[in-house]
Chain A
Amino acid sequence: MRGAKSAKWVVGAIVVAMAATACGGSDSKDSGGKGAVFRLGITEPKSIDPVNAQESEGTLVARQLFVGLYDVNVDGTLNAKLAESAKPNDAGDEWTFQIKKDTKFSNGEAVNAEAFIRGWTRVTAKASASDVAYHMNGIAGYKELNGGSSDKFSGLTAEGDYTLKVKLSAPDFEFDKKTAHPAFSPVPKVAGAGDNKSFNDAPIGNGPFKMSGSWEHNKKITLVRNDDYGLAKAKLDKVELSILNPANGVTLEYKGFESGQFDWARMPVPQMPGAKAKYDPQGQWLKADVSGVNYISPFNESGPMKSADARKAISYAIDRAEIAKGVFQGLQEPATALLPPSFKDVYKADVCTSCVKQDKGKAKEYAEKAGLKPGDTLDFGYNTGAGHEEWVQAVAKQVEDVLGLKVKLNGLPFKEALARQQDKGTIGIWRQAWTADYPTADNFFSPLLSTSGINPDANGKALGDNRGRYSNPKFDELLVKARQTKDAAERAKIYNEAEKLAIDEDQGVIPTWKRTQYRLVNSKKFSNIKLDFFEDPNLAEIGVK
């Protein structure tokens, strides 16, 4: 009798196991021969709906599904999409956009001025609690809508079907550039409120691609060409985005490219030299200087980095070229300005004099002026797990060797690192990086260096992106002046002046490396593969060989 019972257990266990494992067994694979399918790996986005699309993965998808007034070319210039014209008034606080007629969403709804107002209102509404709402904060009525005291965006009006009027709360002659962010996409009526789950997972847009099915969380997002797209149609039939886990995603992308599963891949930094040797000769290696910068943020308010001389001493002590060659194996290049070179109109190399070349003599001279003595302690913070350890140690070693300081490395997990950076009492230096949201110099200077970018709360915690708390009223004035300047060349000059002041004279932050990106691309099967301004593949323009 006992035997019979235990046999039942065994049989039961096997049945359970079969039931649990069998369901995935018959998955049919796409043959791949039917059309041009471009495959790549991403990590799970926070959102693919423009209402909250923010990090690179989410905006990559959102920008395939939606097209707004403008896109950005690789060189940072604006690329008009649905905007036929954009005119500011003389004061620069009111913009009139003419919208291209007769384009539609993939469900047939018209894309008109109302669709834009709907989209921008949806992002800003309080109930959406959107992380990207702040991109709208220059528009009149933002506070009321975001704060919940209104459900209309008072600054937005439609004049006729295809004219959008935008009233700003302060002059901004670069407002048109900001609308390149996916948050400024138009949405159809079916989008509903910001937390409309079915739309969030399968947005209906007006872009070069549309969703094929819903977002399969942690597994896959499939896009197919939108044949009703109102502008130049995509050549790819389908884009398959496999969702990889963040712990191992880059390695999987690289292995996936090697095994032929992906047509586009990032790679782990240590593998880069090997990958370059193998894939560069085959034309499958892509290098691009992108719109970001790596820098060190000194805490300007208190502690050893309080004086500009002290900050210059640190900057002169760093041998950027040596670290670029050694630690980064020549794959990164020193930055000598805060703006990246892709901001063609404004960029000037060598703005940061102390960044151009290591100068031990000058470093010591400035240290002495600042009262930095050998043996003094310098805290150097960074977030762990993101591959910064090696270069941070190299910088620390150089600073120790040149100035005799004791550099104390504080590696912290991201959440704790952020808390420490925001803390009022924090001193020393911190590693930072910044990537552009839109192609305006203001998008670097204002959050990173303006006094309003500190954005302290009641306890003095810096909630903004100006973590080093650099503040100079003259710099703030220059930014306001630039925003109010209509002429682009004139504006560029003011930005140059501002950058010179903050980065060279005051050394408010210490630029370290430009942001250079590398990708492996399947150029055997596809043509015209590029890295776009937002560091994503230019899916809508990729050709098929």
Chain B
Amino acid sequence: MGKYVIRRIGQMVIVLFGATLILFACLFVLPGDPVGSLGGDKARDPAVVEQLRERYGLDKPLAVQYGNYVTNLVKGDLGEDYTQRRQVTEVLGPKLGNTAKLAVAAILIDVVLGVLAGLVAALFRYSFWDVLVTLLTTLAIGFPSFVIGMILQSQFAVNLGWFPLISDGSFNSMIMPAFTLAIIDAALVARLMRGTMLEVLRADYVKTAIAKGLPRRTVLLKHVMRNSIIPVVTYIGISFGGLLGGALITEAIFNWDGMGYALVTAIQQGNNPIIVGVVTYGVAVFVLLNLLVDLLYAVLDPRIRLS
């Protein structure tokens, strides 16, 4: 187990370097001066451009720039952003926290809504509840998340005034964006849960357990739930990574100060250190989560061995 974790972390380091290298190369290939265009509609003074190129080492070849980046990265230094000239770690730190908050809230809603709905649908197959879940999940999956977000916003913030329109990081202002993020995933989780539950319910070991006379609750919790949840955990692990990396639209709609919002702004401005920083964090989080999901398998199913 220990060895496995170490090996996985080693892989993670390689992935991280690979991703940043590719990104560096891409940013270098793009046309346009990385600092010359930051002045907006008006031309930036060539003297200032020169001063900034020197300051950020942009006058050096790509290999040197990347080398410097990696050297600093090891020290936990992601450099300085081009617009406000603050440390990237200082800029992105709170944003990573904000996005994590939102993602955790969304995942909780996912799990509670999705697993419950799937459970009910599977246990009461073909009942009214099953039909209702199928209908609602179909609807949810059919709607793009930005439409859901805008409907929530105009109904609950503008018309009813229940929640603040402009998110400020408070619990109250997190509810709408978290729901927007969660709703489609929750529908998918419900579908997945229902499907695997039905399969497990038909499995021989469940029949055996029932035949042995175990109480229904024990059978459901110990045998059915436990075995149905593995694919769901995988799915949630992946979608959590997705949420951390790409809640772009939802964050923009609700003005949530997270990584997605940072990335969109940075791309518009050509603020390369922030772009590279977001991707570096994103890759690290994604790889860590994958590791966590794999470790969780072993806990849920002892037959899966990590080595």
Contacts and interface: CB of A to CB of B under 8 A. Distances in A.
Interface of A: 2-3, 5-6, 9, 14, 16-17, 20-22, 24-25, 27, 41, 44, 46-47, 54-55, 126, 129-131, 133-134, 146-147, 195, 197, 217-220, 242, 244-249, 252, 255-256, 258-261, 385, 413-416, 418-420, 432-435, 447, 455, 457, 463-465
Interface string B43-68: 11111110110010000000000000
B243 interface: no
B165 A416 contact: no
Given A6-B226, A255-B157, A418-B37, 11 more contacts: A3-B222, A21-B174, A24-B101, A134-B47, A218-B95, A245-B251, A245-B252, A248-B255, A415-B270, A434-B42, A465-B43
Contacts of A197: 86
Given A46-B83, A248-B255, A457-B46, A256 B33 contact: no
B105 A246 contact: no
B302 interface: yes
18 contacts: A2-B299, A5-B299, A9-B299, A17-B107, A21-B105, A24-B168, A24-B173, A54-B40, A197-B86, A217-B91, A218-B261, A219-B169, A242-B168, A248-B255, A260-B161, A420-B31, A434-B41, A435-B41
A419 B172 CA distance: 44
Consensus secondary structure, chain B interface = helix
A102 to B, nearest CB: 35
B48 A17 contact: no
B79 to A, nearest CB: 15
A9 B226 CA distance: 13
A415 B32 contact: yes
B44 A2 contact: no
Contact of A131 (B48, B165, B172): B48
Interface string B260-281: 0100110010100000000000
B195 to A, nearest CB: 21
B277 to A, nearest CB: 15
Given A245-B265, A258-B158, A20 B43 contact: no
Contacts of A457: 46
Contacts of A416: 30-32
A414 B40 CA distance: 8
B43 A261 contact: no
Contacts, number: 161
Nearest to A247: B252
A131 B85 CA distance: 12
Given A24-B170, A245-B255, A433 B47 contact: no
Given A9-B299, A17-B105, A21-B105, A219 B168 contact: yes
Contact of B46 (A44, A218, A463): A463
B164 interface: yes
A433 B43 contact: no
Interface of B: 30-33, 36-49, 51-52, 55, 83-86, 91, 94-95, 97, 100-101, 104-105, 107-108, 153-154, 157-158, 161, 164-166, 168-174, 222, 226, 251-253, 255, 257, 261, 264-265, 268, 270, 296, 299-300, 302
Contacts of B157: 255, 259
A443 to B, nearest CB: 11
B42 A465 contact: yes
A329 B30 CA distance: 37
A165 to B, nearest CB: 25
B116 to A, nearest CB: 14
A502 to B, nearest CB: 18
Contact of A27 (B37, B95, B170): B170
B257 A218 contact: yes
A133 B166 contact: no
Given A5-B299, A245-B251, A220 B168 contact: yes
Nearest to A147: B47
B85 A195 contact: yes
Contacts of B172: 25
Q: Which 3 A-B pairs have the closest CB atoms?
A: A415-B32, A25-B171, A419-B32
B85 A247 contact: no
Contacts of A433: 41
Contacts of A55: 40
Contacts of B154: 255
B165 A261 contact: yes
B30 A242 contact: no
B108 A17 contact: yes
Contacts of B51: 126, 129
A438 B84 CA distance: 24
Contacts of A41: 166
Nearest to A414: B37
Nearest to A41: B166
Nearest to A249: B255
Contacts of A6: 226, 299-300
Contact of B158 (A255, A385, A418): A255
A248 B253 contact: yes
Contacts of A255: 153-154, 157-158, 165
Contacts of A464: 43
